[in-house]
Structures are given as structure tokens and as C-alpha cells.
Chain A
Amino acid sequence: MGYEYFPGTSILHRLDPRTKFLIFIMIVVLTVSIADPLGILGLLILTAILYRVAGIPGSKLRKMIISLLPVFALFIFLNWFVVPPKGAHLLFTIGSLPITIETTMVGVTGGLRFLLFICVARLLTMTTSIAELLVALVKLRVPKEAATALGIGFSSVAILIDKINTVREAQVSRGAKVDVRNPFKKLFALIPIIVPAIYLTILRGMDVAKALEARAFTYNPAGRTMRKHIRLTRLDYLVLAIWIAFTAAIAFLRFRCGWFDYMFTIGRFL
């Protein structure tokens, strides 16, 4: 719930969170520069392997991907309304709307990118404890108060989810129909849940603020002790080196040899 951390001792767990941040950012850059769905699929498979390495059960990843499929479909659907480039190959038509291979492929690529972002981000949080994450933030010059606030936010999620569940049950007990399909009706149906949820969140905020004061949080914020330590080890440098080489190679193929343009893939079929 909320922040899901899988304790473990895999390479991914042992890496400095900063290394993981850096790799995450490089993957984002890579995915944006690659337009070939097969290329992104390749990265996605690589990510799946990393889940394996981290010891996270495959069912987790599967569930995550299945829950994201509607968004994936939405990407493809929305791209059909984009005006196709000149000389695009017609796939079929819906009414007067021409569906081309090119627009579909852009949609598939966008959807895959989205899947990849989420999977990689979740992998990062699943292999990094909140405490490590916060220390990393502080090392990256985020103020200690802000980092602590973020940590409290993460640990409040589970509590709030529990409270909101009771809200739902209380309203269902009053005959509220919250499981309607129509998205517009759904919005109205959810008001009886959203309003108390907001109120409870504000109350939680007040409570936490009181508790923080009572535990001397404002005593000397700059002088707070940070118990967790993170250190770049040889492992980090090694992984970073490999990853940078990998990224450079992909960039070279992309910009010098024209690989991973989405025509690269489609070209095989046309």
C-alpha cells in the first residue's frame, strides 16, 4: 500500500539511491529519443529482467502492466485522431477517419513509453527504502525539512487509505452507489467519499503538525541527525560505467546510424 518497498540484498538494493536516480533519468532520456516500439519493448524486457534480479515476484509486474493496459489503449486511440503524415500507409477506416500504420505506431510507442516509465519508477521505489530515498534527497540538496515531510507523506498514505475505505463503507451503508460505470456519473457518485477524504486528510495534517511540534521537530531543524548513510561504492561506479556505455551505444546507433526510428521497424513489413 502506498509506498511499496521490497526488502532484499540484490544488486539493485545495494546500489546507492543516487545511482538509481541517475539510471532512471538516463532511461527516461533514452526512451524519449527512441521512437521504435521494438526498441522500447527491448528496454521493457530489460526492466522485467531487473525485476527478476531484484527478487520481486513476477505477478507484481504482471498486475501492474495489466492495470496500465487501458491507458495503453487510450494512447493508441487518441493518436488515431492525429493527422497522418504524407504518404502514410492506410490500415483501415472508421467512418471517414483514416487509420494509418504510422499514427497507430506513434500511439503504440507512446503507450510503451508510459508503461516503461511506470515500471522503472516502481522498480526504483520497490528497491529503495523511504529512509534511503530521503537521505538521497538531502544529499541532492533538498532541505531536511522537505525530505522529512515527504517521508511523513509516504507513511501517511496507508493510514489515509484505511480511513477512506471506512468512508466508502459508511456511505455504501447509507445506500450510496459508488460502483457506477459512467465516468461522469461516477464523479458525482464519488462526492460523498471525496469530501470526507479531504476533510480527513486535513485533520491528519493538523495531527501530524501537532505531533511534530511535540517531538521537538522545530528544535533545531538544520542540526537534525541523519541516521541512514549512503555511499557510492565500487559497485555503483561499475554499474554506472556499464550503463553510460550502453546509453552511448544506443545514442550512437540512433543518431549516427539512424536506428530506432520507427520506420526502422515498420520498414521490415512494408
Chain B
Amino acid sequence: MPGRGEAGKDPDAVIELKNISYRYPGTDFYALKNVSLRVRRGEVLLITGPTGAGKTTLCYILNGLVPHFFGGTFEGEARVLGYNVPETPVGFLATRVGMVFSDPLSQLVSATVEDEVAFGLENLGLPEEDISKRVKRALEYVGLYNLRSRPPYTLSGGEQQAVALASILAMEPEIYVLDEPTANLDPLGTLRILDLLKKLSREKGKTIVVVEHKLEEMAEIADRMIVMNEGRVIAEGSPREILTRRAEHLHSLGLEAAHIPLLVQRLAGKGIIKSPGSIPLTLSEGVRFFDELLSSGELSIGGRAWEPNGGSEAGGEPIIVVEDLVHVYPGGTMALKGVSMKVYRGDFLAIIGQNGSGKTTLVKHFNGLLKPTRGRVRVFGMDVEETPTSELVKRVGYIFQDPDRQLFTRRVRDELAFGPKNIGVPPGEIEERIRDVSRKLRIEHLLDREPYSLGKGEKQRIAIASILVMNPEVIILDEPTTGQDPRNRREIMDTMKMLHREGKTIVFITHDMNLVAEYASRCIVMSDGRILLQGTPREVFSEVEVLRTTRLKPPTITSLFMELSKRHPIKEVILTLDEAVSLFEGGGR
């Protein structure tokens, strides 16, 4: 076993990185550039930053996956628990540093939950009785002991991630590293994991390093926070300090800055309020802050927050009509229990709800991927039961979440030509369409590249383009933003907004309430195979009690003004930051 080298000056430091630069093999740029970091025993460190910032690479150093597993060029000095990382095998470091990856299923390797948690303990060579005890304790800790004999892939995403966490917990490491543990989860799964993180962080002596984009939620868990961008650490401090003082900066990096400090900074920037001594961060702080300002008359409510016609019901004729739809999967699961709804021409419709509520099952009927078990679905007057999918896909485009599950050609150009060729578009026109669409999505420079060699955001744009070239009237997006960073999410949605302006009808499934508030003209909330609510986002988000039954929360800004409206004359439901700012500006937009 490698011996511990000379520890640094700080005896409490469990992680010491000095001037680390790292390049993955086969790349010509540094994923990390001169990064130094020190983490003390028992500290909870939050790392955030846009895609490509080097967050994951940094995590990989902590258990030695970088450089041992990936290879590449490693410069600088890395010590974890006193061990020199480049000289210590991963297998050894992994007994002291536990890691949870962001995609839950990618890290689960066993046939049952129980075996999964036992796997690491078997690797440690522990006696059987110890293994049984530790498995039980870890599964009870995460609340999944009753599911111990289920195969992991049959669990929900949140449960799977909890299993991943339990299998690390059971190994009792000194350092926990979690790389975007909630990125692929629905709101319920996210809550589960954040609650577990809270519980874990309260226990003394556990050093936790978490990469996350959900900054508002993480602020109360983390002791310290670093912000990374393009391979460098660009900010470091307490989460409160960074989230309040540097809200605009985070926002400009394309990160999901906490909205309440952002609002305060914007109002101060416009001279509407004085720069406050301490900026509120949480919802309750925000309510107190604005309540005082409004009560003392320092701040007053002006005119309308939004244009009267903005975000109203779509006026077009119904193009997709769903009547009493029931869908039962071959295994016997009843995913839809009688759903009736319409999609109107010109809709920008959001479908929200927890995983398993039937969102995807519903929209898969729109282009015939699924056929009704009972009930009827008509698309542009065609009954989906009788119309072949090859006809429906000409008018309804379906964009899937993971571009890796559809790209297959050597060149982006061929990828784009595939769909139109299938539906019989003449070759000359295909060329034309490819030119149009690639200009619109700014992928002209990628047309002769190999799809697999592109980055995540670029691949997603190719996947979107490959549907757009088929020129469908309706575009369905099934969680296109899950697993993407906030900036990519906005880029995708901005593209959709542009297409919507050109007359396309958009239907999107999402877990991001801010996107619903900002982009959707209508919103459907699903729960347990039924439609729970439908209406404009304003109508839907004001039904706080109904939303709570399915554990969905309105955007923070909306909640803030709903609280304030109890004591102050605010009639409107506020959805976005811009609306909130213009509410106080008094002039309307």
C-alpha cells in the first residue's frame, strides 16, 4: 500500500490540490488550468459552473480516475487524505473516497438493490456478517430497505440515485464526492437526494464535495462554494456571499442564479431601491425584505407587470384532440387513466408532473409511437389508431432527450438528410432544407463533422435539426433540457420560441418550472395518469395547494409575490424576474 506522504501545512486539510492542469488524451485543450483547492475535514463544498468548466474532471481527481483511468497529461500536485493521487491506485483511493455519478443507472451494476449495496463491501473483502449489517444500515438510512430485492432498473430515478448513495455510504468512506447527483431526476427525486444530503452533512466529520446547478437549494447545505469556468476557479466563498453578492455574475455565466438576490440586484441597479446592506437569499428572507420596503413606502407597486394579451389561451383551432385516453403497457401498468385534452394550433404547451405521471406516454400518442388501449387520439383529423406512424411523423416531430440514442451517420449532413429522405422529400429540396435549418440553428460549420465527435450541446442541436428538416407543424420535446446546464437549456428553449414565432406549435415536457413560467403559453399538470390542472402558467402556478399534492413548486419569484400579495395590493401572478422588475418600475413593459 502506498504510504502517506508529507501532509501539507494545514493538518485538517483532507484534499489539497496545487496548481493542477490536466488534459484528456486526444484533446488539445486543458480541462483544468492551474487549479488549486483545499478542503478541510468535515467541510461541505459546493462546486458549480457551466458545462465544460472542469467540475467533473476535478471530481475525478479526488478518487484518482484522473489520471489513472483516463490517462492524459497531469501537472501539479494532488493530495487526498495525504496520499499522492498520481501515485495511488484508484482501487485504493476508492476505499476512502466514495463517488456518486450523475446518471443513476450508469453506476448500478448488480441484479438487485441489496447486491448493489453489498458490491463495494465485497470488494473490500469484509466478512459476510459485516456486509449484511452494513447493507441493512445503509438501505435503512436512505429509506429503501423495503425495496432491497428489486432490480435497480425497475426503481424511479430518485430511488436509483439513493441506492447509489447507499452503496457508497455502506463503504464508510472519509470523503463523499457527488457529481451532479440530481441532474437527471424529477422534482420528487431531487427532493429525496437533497434531503439525504442535508442529513449526511449534519453528521460530523463527513467531508462532502458536491457539484450542483441547484444553487438555491444547496446554499443551506454547503459551507463553502467555488465557481468554475473554462477550467479555472473564478470565485470562492460562502454560498450566501456568492449567491447574493455575485448573482448577476453567476447569471451572466449562464448559471441558475438564485432569483431573489438577482431581483434585488436588478432593482438596485435601476435605482428603484437603495443598495441594501444585506441581500436576502431564501424565500422567507425575501418576503421579509420586500414586506418591509413595501410597508415603509420605500418601494411601491406600479402598473401592470405584463402585457394583457401575453400568455393567454392560444386562439388557434384544435389540431390534436385526445378523448378519454387510456393506455396500458404490456406488463399491465396503466400509465394513462382517462385523459382528455387538446393541443391548439400556435400552442406553446408545457406538460409537467413527476416521472411516472404519464407525460411521455401521453405525447407518444401524438405521432403514433403508442396506440391507445381505449379512447381516441386524432391528429390533424387523422385517427392515430388507423394512421401509420410514417404518415403522422410528417406533421408531428418528436425530439428525444438523449441525442446519443439517435445519431448514427458519419456526417452531420447525412444525419439531417435521413428524416426527409424517409418521408419522400425530393433530393433538391432536402439540400435546401438542410441549408435553411442549419443556418437557423447555427450549425452550418458542423455539417461535415462526425456527429459522435461533437459536444453534448452541439449533438442536441443536431438532433433538433434532424427533426426540423422534416418540417413538422407540431414539435414535441421530451425533456430536452434534462442533464443540460442552464445555458444550454435556455438556448434550446430560445430556438423553440423562434420556431413558435414562425408558426410552429410546440409541446414540451420539463421538470424546470422556470422554463414553464418563461416560455409556455399553456400548461398541463399530470399526476398518476390523469390531468390534474390545465391552464395558463399563471393559473396553474396560483394553485399552490393542488400543486403541493404532487410535490411541485411554483418558481421562487412566483411564490415570493404570492406571499407578498397577502398583505400588499399585488393582483397579478408574477412569473418571471422581468415581470417582477416591471411591477416596481410602474410603467409596464
Question: With A210-B69, A227-B118 known to touch, is A220 a contact of B123 (CB < 8 Å)?
Answer: yes
Residues of B contacting A100 with CB < 8 Å? none
Alpha-carbon distance A38/B389, docked complex (angstroms): 47
Q: Which of A49-57, A83-91, A193-201 contacts B (4 or more CB under 8 A)?
A: A193-201
Alpha-carbon distance A200/B123, docked complex (angstroms): 27
B472 nearest in chain A by CB position: A173
Alpha-carbon distance A203/B91, docked complex (angstroms): 21
Most buried by A among B125, B394, B409, B452: B125
Question: Is the CB–CB distance between A155 and B110 below 8 Å?
Answer: yes
Contact of A130 among B111, B123, B128 (CB under 8 A): B111
Residues of A contacting B115 with CB < 8 Å? 131
Alpha-carbon distance A159/B157, docked complex (angstroms): 13
Residues of B contacting A129 with CB < 8 Å? 111
Asked if B133 lies at the interface with its beta carbon under 8 angstroms from chain A, I say no
Alpha-carbon distance A245/B400, docked complex (angstroms): 59
Taking the nearest CB of chain A, how far is it from the CB of B307, in angstroms?
A: 36
Residues of B contacting A152 with CB < 8 Å? 109-110
- The 0/1 profile, CB within 8 Å of A marked 1, for residues 411-433 of chain B is 00000001100110000000000
- The 0/1 profile, CB within 8 Å of B marked 1, for residues 129-154 of chain A is 11100000000000000000001101
Residues of B contacting A209 with CB < 8 Å? 69
Asked if A59 lies at the interface with its beta carbon under 8 angstroms from chain B, I say no
Question: With A174-B418, A175-B419 known to touch, is A227 a contact of B122 (CB < 8 Å)?
Answer: yes
B422 nearest in chain A by CB position: A175
Chain A interface, number of residues (Cβ within 8 angstroms)? 52
Question: Is the CB–CB distance between A177 and B106 below 8 Å?
Answer: no
Alpha-carbon distance A172/B91, docked complex (angstroms): 43
Q: Which of B28-36, B97-105, B501-509, B567-575 contacts A (4 or more CB under 8 A)?
A: B97-105
List 11 A–B pairs whose Cβ atoms lie within 8 Å, in order of A's numbering: A152-B110, A155-B151, A155-B152, A170-B398, A199-B408, A203-B404, A214-B94, A215-B123, A216-B94, A216-B123, A224-B123
Question: Is the CB–CB distance between B367 and A173 below 8 Å?
Answer: yes
Asked if B120 lies at the interface with its beta carbon under 8 angstroms from chain A, I say yes
Residues of B contacting A208 with CB < 8 Å? 106, 109
Question: Is the CB–CB distance between A214 and B408 below 8 Å?
Answer: no
Asked if B95 lies at the interface with its beta carbon under 8 angstroms from chain A, I say yes
Question: Is the CB–CB distance between B394 and A207 below 8 Å?
Answer: no
Alpha-carbon distance A209/B91, docked complex (angstroms): 12
Given contacts A158-B153, A174-B419, A213-B91, 17 further A-B pairs with CB under 8 A are A166-B402, A167-B405, A172-B389, A173-B367, A174-B393, A174-B467, A174-B470, A176-B422, A200-B404, A200-B405, A213-B68, A213-B69, A213-B90, A214-B98, A220-B125, A227-B118, A227-B131
Asked if B460 lies at the interface with its beta carbon under 8 angstroms from chain A, I say no
Question: Is the CB–CB distance between B123 and A174 below 8 Å?
Answer: no
Alpha-carbon distance A166/B467, docked complex (angstroms): 16
Question: With A155-B111, A216-B95, A225-B128 known to touch, is A210 a contact of B101 (CB < 8 Å)?
Answer: yes
Taking the nearest CB of chain B, how far is it from the CB of A215, in angstroms?
A: 4
Asked if A241 lies at the interface with its beta carbon under 8 angstroms from chain B, I say no
Alpha-carbon distance A129/B120, docked complex (angstroms): 20
Alpha-carbon distance A211/B409, docked complex (angstroms): 29
A217 nearest in chain B by CB position: B123
Taking the nearest CB of chain A, how far is it from the CB of B131, in angstroms?
A: 6
Residues of A contacting B152 with CB < 8 Å? 155
Taking the nearest CB of chain A, how far is it from the CB of B226, in angstroms?
A: 22
Taking the nearest CB of chain A, how far is it from the CB of B547, in angstroms?
A: 29
A-B contact count (CB 8 A): 168
- The 0/1 profile, CB within 8 Å of B marked 1, for residues 113-127 of chain A is 000000000000000
Taking the nearest CB of chain A, how far is it from the CB of B354, in angstroms?
A: 19
Question: Is the CB–CB distance between B101 and A211 below 8 Å?
Answer: yes
Residues of B contacting A213 with CB < 8 Å? 63, 65, 68-69, 90-91, 94
Alpha-carbon distance A207/B56, docked complex (angstroms): 14
Residues of A contacting B127 with CB < 8 Å? 225
Alpha-carbon distance A225/B452, docked complex (angstroms): 40
Asked if A226 lies at the interface with its beta carbon under 8 angstroms from chain B, I say yes
Asked if B268 lies at the interface with its beta carbon under 8 angstroms from chain A, I say no
A229 nearest in chain B by CB position: B128
- The 0/1 profile, CB within 8 Å of A marked 1, for residues 139-162 of chain B is 000000000000111000000000
Contact of B394 among A171, A175, A225 (CB under 8 A): A175
Alpha-carbon distance A209/B121, docked complex (angstroms): 17
A155 nearest in chain B by CB position: B111
Alpha-carbon distance A3/B110, docked complex (angstroms): 12
Question: Is the CB–CB distance between B364 and A175 below 8 Å?
Answer: no
Taking the nearest CB of chain B, how far is it from the CB of A71, in angstroms?
A: 24
B95 nearest in chain A by CB position: A216
Taking the nearest CB of chain B, how far is it from the CB of A155, in angstroms?
A: 5
Taking the nearest CB of chain B, how far is it from the CB of A123, in angstroms?
A: 19
Alpha-carbon distance A228/B470, docked complex (angstroms): 55
Alpha-carbon distance A225/B171, docked complex (angstroms): 14
Taking the nearest CB of chain A, how far is it from the CB of B227, in angstroms?
A: 25
Contact of A219 among B110, B124, B404, B467 (CB under 8 A): B124
Asked if A163 lies at the interface with its beta carbon under 8 angstroms from chain B, I say yes
Contact of A215 among B120, B126, B151, B398 (CB under 8 A): B120
Question: With A155-B109, A227-B122 known to touch, is A169 a contact of B418 (CB < 8 Å)?
Answer: no
Question: Is the CB–CB distance between B63 and A214 below 8 Å?
Answer: yes
- The 0/1 profile, CB within 8 Å of B marked 1, for residues 3-39 of chain A is 1000000000000000000000000000000000000
